């Protein structure tokens, strides 16, 4: 709790988690471990060897980064840095994993195999997991399976939500540049108006999900930013649309990307303009391994009541734990942090985002029970 509040008060953006990583490494050293720092930038790893004989290597991952948000939450340990805030709960993830490390270090006699701890930078920039993997996260010792958790504003505190299969979306960034021919606003027949073409493209893109994607599949196409022109009497040369595509199955992902490209370029061409579509592929969807998820669920049932271990409804948010889950059987689960009575009811990334700190204990116990279930002697 003290550590979580300290991290909360001193948030660091992706790739800048020097203070946080320093505290993590120092704490792990105090526990008798030999942390490796600078993994994938500011990441930290450490291995806890079990003393109860051979067994698999289980990776436990926590993310450490904050967001470029100015905190408005009414807490005594609010961020001291304007423009930076732990508005997603990653401060809690880091504190929970340090707590898990402390408990595991005290009980290595009960542990088969080993636990590898990963404190990851830059989740929000969706580059941190890949950077750590490129830096050997899943090798030496090779990782056999992985667990991660997210404190979750959508679920009441005390509850744990999990599900097998795709649970978080593939999150692409979309940019469309519409090029026309500028000119005098009073003589549009002498121009190719990119604003009108952009407006038609935005409208036509609404058909991709409603007319192309099967009803039993999920996808989202959202335009979030529209930019063109400088004044009232000039038709602009170009318009820029920015947005995001979310999807779960590779086939749907391909289909939506293809349709967005075809619709944007086709509509622009019909109006005499040109559209250049750039889709920056985001992290893949988080796909939970069915067998591992059922074992984690069984473990959670030892620390929470049957009515408190609930099914997780897939969400269209992205999460770069997906890059780990793509390589080894994994389970990413959600620990309820919502408490309306305590004003812990704002969505993630909101300036008044607040967790019920009771969730920290639930997360710690769920993670420890899972390790015990998977590696306990």
Catalytic positions, please?
65, 123
Tell me how many residues contact Zn ion (CB under 5 A).
Answer: 1
- Please, what is the minimum distance in Å from the beta carbon of residue 123 to Zn ion? 6
Contact indicator for 255, 274 with CB cutoff of 8 Å: no
Cβ distance to Zn ion smaller for residue 88 or 286 = 88
DSSP state letters, 284-326: PPEEE-HHHHHHHHHHHTTTS-GGGEEEPPPBS---TTHHHHT
CA distance 373 to 298: 8
Grouping H, G, I as helix, E, B as strand and the rest as coil, residue 267 is helix
Q: How far apart are CA 260 and CA 217, in angstroms?
A: 17
Q: How far apart are the first and last CA of the chain?
A: 29
CB of 55 to Zn ion, least distance (A): 30
Residue of closest CB approach to Zn ion: 88
Residues 209-248 that bind Zn ion (CB under 5 A): none
Q: Does 88 bind Zn ion (CB under 5 A)?
A: yes
Considering only the stretches 85-93, 174-182, 290-298, 361-369, report the one whose residues sit in contact with Zn ion under the rule CB under 5 A. Answer: 85-93
Candidate segments 82-90, 112-120, 272-280, 308-316, binder of Zn ion by CB under 5 A: 82-90
Structure tokens at 12: 């660091």
**For residues 116-155, which are near Zn ion according to CB under 5 A?**
none
| DSSP codes, 172-216 | EEEEEEEE-B-EETT-GGGSB-HHHHHHHHHHHHHHIIIIIS-TT
Least Å distance, CB 122 to Zn ion, is 11
Q: State the burial class of residue 365 (Cβ atoms within 10 Å of its Cβ: 0-12, 13-18, 19+).
A: buried
Which C-beta is closer to Zn ion: that of 88 or that of 325?
Answer: 88
- What x-and-dash track marks residues 290-329 binding Zn ion by CB under 5 A? ----------------------------------------
Residue closer to Zn ion by CB (options 151, 374) is: 151
- Residue among 173 and 181 whose Cβ is closer to Zn ion: 173
Complex with Zn ion: residue 66 or 374, whichever CB lies closer = 66
C-alpha–C-alpha distance, residues 269 and 257, integer Å: 18
Q: How far is the CB of 124 from Zn ion (least distance, A)?
A: 5
Choose the binding region for Zn ion from 8-16, 87-95, 297-305, 356-364 (rule: CB under 5 A): 87-95
Between 88 and 271, CB nearer to Zn ion: 88
For the bound state, the minimum distance from the C-beta of residue 233 to Zn ion, rounded and expressed in Å, comes to 42
Q: Give the interface segment with Zn ion, choosing from 84-92, 98-106, 186-194, 277-285 (CB under 5 A).
A: 84-92
CB of 84 to Zn ion, least distance (A): 14
Long-range contacts of 307-310 (CB under 8 A, 24+ apart): 308/158, 308/159, 308/160, 309/159, 309/160, 309/161, 309/162, 310/155, 310/159, 310/160, 310/161
Of 155, 133, 20, 41, give the one whose Cα is nearest residue 86. Answer: 20
Name 174's bridge partners. Answer: 243, 279
In the complex, the residues that contact Zn ion under the rule CB under 5 A are 88
């Amino acid at each position: 709790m003290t550590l979580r509040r300290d991290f909360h008060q001193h948030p660091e953006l992706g790739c800048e988690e020097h203070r946080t990583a320093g505290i993590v490494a120092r704490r792990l050293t105090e526990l008798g471990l030999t942390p490796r720092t600078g993994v994938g930038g500011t990441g930290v790893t450490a291995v806890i060897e079990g003393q109860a004989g051979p067994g698999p290597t289980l990776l436990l991952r926590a993310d450490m980064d904050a967001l470029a948000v100015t905190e408005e939450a009414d807490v005594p340990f609010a961020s001291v840095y304007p423009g930076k805030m732990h508005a997603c709960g990653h401060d809690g993830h880091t504190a929970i994993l340090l707590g898990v490390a402390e408990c595991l270090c005290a009980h290595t006699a009960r542990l088969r195999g080993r636990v590898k701890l990963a404190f990851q930078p830059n989740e929000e920039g969706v580059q941190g997991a890949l950077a750590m993997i490129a830096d050997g996260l899943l090798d030496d010792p090779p990782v056999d399976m992985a667990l991660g958790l997210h404190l979750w504003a959508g679920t009441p505190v005390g509850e744990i939500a999990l599900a097998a299969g795709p649970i978080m979306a593939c999150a692409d960034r979309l940019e469309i540049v519409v090029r026309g021919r500028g000119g005098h606003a009073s003589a549009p027949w002498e121009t190719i108006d990119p604003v009108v073409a952009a407006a038609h493209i935005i409208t036509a893109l609404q058909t991709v999900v409603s007319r192309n994607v099967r009803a039993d599949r999920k996808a989202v196409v959202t335009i979030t930013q529209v930019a063109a022109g400088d004044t009232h009497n000039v038709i602009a040369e170009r318009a820029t649309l920015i947005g995001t595509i979310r999807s779960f199955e590779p086939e749907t992902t391909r289909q939506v990307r293809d349709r967005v490209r075809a619709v944007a370029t086709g509509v622009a061409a019909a109006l005499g303009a040109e559209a250049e579509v750039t889709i920056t592929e985001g992290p893949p969807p988080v796909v939970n391994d069915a067998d591992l998820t059922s074992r984690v669920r069984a473990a959670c049932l030892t620390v929470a009541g049957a009515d408190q271990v609930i099914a997780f409804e897939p969400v269209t948010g992205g999460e770069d734990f997906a890059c780990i889950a793509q390589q080894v059987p994994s389970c990413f689960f959600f620990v309820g942090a919502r408490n309306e009575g305590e004003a812990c009811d704002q969505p993630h990334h909101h300036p008044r985002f607040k967790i019920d700190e009771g969730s920290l204990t639930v997360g710690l116990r769920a993670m420890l029970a899972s390790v015990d279930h998977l590696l306990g002697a």
